[in-house]
Amino acid sequence: MKDNRLFYGNSAIQPDLNGDGRERGAIPHPLVEECISLSLADLRRLFGRKELLKAAEDARPVHVRIHGNAFSIYLLQEPHRLPSRHGRVFYREITRLWIVCMCCRRRVRKLYTYEKIPGSNILYMALCRSCHGLVYQSQNCGGNRWWREIARPLKKMIRRRERLLERKQSGEVMAQLEQVNQLIWIMRQRAKPKSSPGREIPQSAGAKRRYRNLGLILQSLPC
């Protein structure tokens, strides 16, 4: 499960989760990268695949607690056939699991939740990305220079580092990992804001670009 500090990078209309039909008005909503996510992989680690299949067959939820909040997660199973290596002949049938979003009833791989009030432990319902109105950081700043020249290259380098860590740690892999770590350090130094002595940056300027947060990209790195 992914847990990040919130800074609320985009604004949207709050979804009507209580069913009373009243709009909550324009409030800041977090990005996908800021939310606490709950995926099928997380559920498999917690309960095991057999227990999840049984819960789907019995049409009963599995219960998860996140920061003291209780969530009931419903699952759906469906048959799925794998193709043969020697052609397009479908011969092997397996069971595929999905999480059900309790707002739109769609099959999804992940649910998201986040704090109702920043700094509190009270979380919203665990719903899909569409029902929460979430967007990715790249959608908010994918067309600007900061994303093209700083964030996206750094993100690619961190993904490369993660792939190297998954491999067997041979001498060659360790040398590549050291080189990647050095490149990441250089990129982080270049990304630091430049300020002239005695020059004050107005608060309004910083508030306009709060989504330019490298912390969301660097969260997988050790402190």
Residues 165-209: tens digit of each pLDDT: 888 888 899 999 999 889 888 888 877 766 555 555 454 444 444
Each residue's pLDDT tens digit, 98-137: 999 999 999 999 999 998 887 888 999 999 999 998 888 7
25/42 same-domain check: yes
75/185 same-domain check: no
pLDDT at 153 over 80: yes
Between 117 and 64, residue with greater pLDDT: 64
pLDDT at 25 over 50: no
How far is residue 74's CA from residue 59's CA, in Å, rounded to a whole number?
7
Average pLDDT over residues 38-43: 93
Structure tokens at 72: 């009931």
pLDDT band at 61 (very low <50, low <70, confident <90, very high): very high
Phi, psi for residue 140 in degrees, rounded to 5: -75, -30
Structure tokens at 163: 């792939």
> Which range of residues forms the domain containing residue 84?
10-135
In a domain, 90, yes or no: yes
- Give the ranges where 59-127 is alpha helix by DSSP (H): none
With 0.95 as the threshold, say if the pTM is over it.
no
CB 99 within 8 Å of CB 105: no
88/30 same-domain check: yes
Domain total for the chain? 2
**Residue where a domain stops, chosen among 135, 154, 173:** 135
126/149 same-domain check: no
103/158 same-domain check: no
Q: Quote the mean pLDDT of the chain.
A: 77
CB 100 within 8 Å of CB 110: no
122/150 same-domain check: no
Q: Which residues pair with 112 in a beta bridge?
A: 37, 127
